[in-house]
Structure 1
């Protein structure tokens, strides 16, 4: 694929959440390495992480709940979606000012960065969505319409949609007649997930969506991990992590410790997050390492099994390394991801309410000892590798730049159409 003819200013927009920032980081790092100037609009808590890629953080203040208080997201659907609209509305003036006199040539953005398409329209530049999870397929609207209808039947839901439409109209986006289309139906999208994790993948519009797979790279800056030298050859490695947000689960961690305590042929790395103190876990067996945070990818490259909450980031890291996964989802899309991994034949979905030391141990052993799981995991690992990952994502972004400049002539390079 032809490279962009000249360096460009590319602006990336996201929110202060690991599950939304992390998938884009290696793509941004690659674009910087190719000579582009990348600015990354992000709240201050993620500025250092962004700066490590070589991009310039453009700071704005967010009103979204943080990982320190995940309970602030509430329990109902409207509780989960209102904060994104509120945050987008208050962020837009900040972002306009942050880019005044330094407008980009191209906008790339996370699915939750609602101001980004509005800014691209304002600046008359292309926008590419970078989706860290599943995308819409033919028939998607029919499946979700009952949920939307239920939401619109409430006073709070009607007010949400009215406010969203008014905001879009105010900023010359009246053509987006349904606010849900802003996220679910972008003009162009790179799905930063493997095709294997996409429901109804054969019904996805390939002229809009391209699956590039896991965008991983050199994570040496996050630290390294090596299996202890005193462990016998053949000792199996188990990683246990519930991610970064829903980690206040001391009872779950105690069940994990009981499940794998002192097993001579297993070594366990347990990440407990920042809410739980190791003293709450009781006696730590000699075959366990316990940390508040671990370099997950470095461990997965050596792991034999992974107990995970089935966030999309961890799910695809497990797939990319051919590691069988026991999924104990906690919230949001994790339940669907767990079901997808089970359907693929590389995982098991263990509901949180059914977690005991016995169910954990039996599920992990059944995964690791099943030869069909190993064969399937290796096949998916190879398929993901062929999707192109970081380099392909950067190629497609550069193709958008060259097309804008009138350089690109091969229509097949950008999904079979000129836009």
Structure 2
């Protein structure tokens, strides 16, 4: 632990979303507590047990689980609006929590990218707060340089930078600002502040420090990223590090050839058709299959002897015995598969998933299949190509070796501690 000359500030960690958003910030919170900081964790109420299990002080933010049933939640364009509307009660609760803290207490907010603009509202009401933003995936950061995908659309390498800037402006003007700015600017007016003209400019300009929660070999620093940015690593976190596989799952894994592991995100209640197609694809290939989801109703009701359902199992325990992982492309699942050296077939639906899939494919650690084309036949063909590809075998070994070589997460934690301390410098 570093020796700072002042009392280390209270760090308020704030995240929103599903377990994939929660786990990286839990890992950072525990690391900061080890460095002597008092840490309080704010997250949707459904995550209370996981945060308490980690031994952290927790303050619940209201969240309506009905949002998981919204058909637009996983829509490539409309999903942002669903998430934004769902998180507003939680953001109001966060502002009330920050306002109630002792006024003399130095504090810093370590926040999810979607929370940055609301953290900026807190700072206007409580000057002196420092803001650290943790960006979970490369596509969380706007750039015109390393841009394989813009949402679901591939961006050709030959496309001029001016045209890429025009595309970004169009995305923000049509899909981001109309959703986010009315709420933010209403709050800014009550604070006597001028309205913001760009949500994304606020998200990237407000933090005192930005950190990437992925390594540079996965998403290299770009010249148009925030200047006060530290590049980090995947903060992989397992809520049950000592957990072993359930006996029935162990028996299934040992009973035959290495199975396919299929998951589609902990918060996805719209995966029934996908899981049915995956089962049919596995049967076409003569492959065994494990469905990993907490939502049993999403999995075909009658499973053959070659198929198994499990509500939860640590991927670190399960993937070494798997033939391949079929998933949505969330950054946490993607990183776990790379750490295990497991071939990935990614079927992205929304958010950062398209970009993550493109990067895995570019690293030859997996393949991508469009969600709209994920029929049983297409899944079977893609899986056969994946499993027979020598390039993917080599690529998986390469990314596994990179992750095994060591983590830069300590550097990120040290940078946060220095930045938020009264005497620290970036």
Q: TM-score when scaled to structure 2?
A: 0.79
Tell me, yes or no, if the aligned pair for 2:136 and 2:214 is still in contact at 8 Å.
Answer: yes
1:268 equivalenced with 2:274 (yes/no):
no
Matching residue within 144, 164, 170 for 2:168 = 144
> Alpha-carbon deviations, 1:316-347, whole Å to 9, x = none?
22222222110112233323322332233222
The whole-number CA distance in structure 2 between the counterparts of 1:229 and 1:88 is 43
Give 1:27-38 correspondences, 5 Å limit.
27-38=28-39
Matching residue within 101, 108, 120 for 1:99 = 101
SS in 2 for 1:195: coil
> Alpha-carbon deviations, 1:359-416, whole Å to 9, x = none?
3233223223322212222222333455725433322222224xx332x5xxxxxxxx
Higher mean alpha-carbon deviation, 217-226 vs 376-385, is at: 217-226
The whole-number CA distance in structure 2 between the counterparts of 1:295 and 1:102 is 42
Tell me, yes or no, if the aligned pair for 1:241 and 1:272 is still in contact at 8 Å.
Answer: yes
SS in 2 for 1:379: helix
1:330 equivalenced with 2:349 (yes/no):
yes
The whole-number CA distance in structure 2 between the counterparts of 1:178 and 1:362 is 43
Give 1:243's aligned residue: 265
Give 1:411's aligned residue: none
1:161 equivalenced with 2:181 (yes/no):
yes
1:116 equivalenced with 2:119 (yes/no):
yes
SS in 2 for 1:228: helix
Give 2:201's aligned residue: 181
Tell me, yes or no, if the aligned pair for 1:306 and 1:318 is still in contact at 8 Å.
Answer: yes
Q: Describe the shift of the 1:378–1:124 C-alpha distance in structure 2 as closer, same or farther (beyond 3 A).
A: same
**Structure 1 position 352, deviation (Å):** 2.5
1:396 equivalenced with 2:415 (yes/no):
yes
1:215 equivalenced with 2:235 (yes/no):
yes
Q: Describe the shift of the 1:89–1:405 C-alpha distance in structure 2 as closer, same or farther (beyond 3 A).
A: closer
**Structure 1 position 69, deviation (Å):** 4.2
Give 1:353's aligned residue: 372
> Alpha-carbon deviations, 1:279-331, whole Å to 9, x = none?
x443x232322123333333234433110011122112222222211011223
**Structure 1 position 263, deviation (Å):** 7.1
**Structure 1 position 61, deviation (Å):** 2.5
SS in 2 for 1:216: coil
> Alpha-carbon deviations, 1:158-180, whole Å to 9, x = none?
58535523423544765965332
1:57 equivalenced with 2:58 (yes/no):
yes
- Structure 1 residue runs of 4+, over 6 Å off? 72-75
1:194 equivalenced with 2:218 (yes/no):
no
- How many residues of Structure 1 are paired with residues of Structure 2 in the alignment? 399
Q: Describe the shift of the 1:120–1:96 C-alpha distance in structure 2 as closer, same or farther (beyond 3 A).
A: same
1:343 equivalenced with 2:343 (yes/no):
no
Matching residue within 65, 75, 78 for 1:76 = 78
Unmatched runs of 5 consecutive residues or more in structure 1: 409-417
Tell me, yes or no, if the aligned pair for 1:84 and 1:112 is still in contact at 8 Å.
Answer: no
Tell me, yes or no, if the aligned pair for 2:291 and 2:310 is still in contact at 8 Å.
Answer: yes
**Structure 1 position 239, deviation (Å):** 1.3
CA RMSD, 1 decimal: 3.5
Unmatched runs of 5 consecutive residues or more in structure 2: 146-163
Give 1:415's aligned residue: none
Give 1:412's aligned residue: none
